Structure 1
Amino acid sequence: MWRGITEQSAVDRTLREHAAILAAIEASDSRLAEALTLVHVSGVEEWLRRAL
Structure 2
Amino acid sequence: MDERMVILNELTQGIRPLPQGVGWFEGLADTEQFETAAVTSSPAPVRRSS
Please, what TM-score do these two structures have when normalized by structure 1? 0.37
Relative to its length, the structure with more helix (as a share) is 1
Say which one has the larger Rg. 2
TM-score, structure 2 normalization: 0.38
